[in-house]
Structure 1
Amino acid sequence: MDGGETMKKIRLLIPLFIGLVAVTAYLAFARSSEEPVNVEEVNEANEDVGYFPGCDDGEKVIPLGDGFLGGEAYLQNGDEEIYLNSETDSSAITVKEAKEILKSRQAESDNQ
Structure 2
Amino acid sequence: MADFSETLSRYFSLYGPAPAFGGSTGSENKRQVQLFGGVALGAVCKVIYDAFTSAGNLGWKVFAVALIASLVVFPQLYYSGGLNRKKLTFAHWALAFQNGFFWSVALSELTKKLG
TM norm structure 1: 0.26
| Larger relative contact order (Cα-Cα within 8 Å, sequence gap ≥ 6) | 2
Larger Rg belongs to: 1
Larger helix percent: 2
TM norm structure 2: 0.25
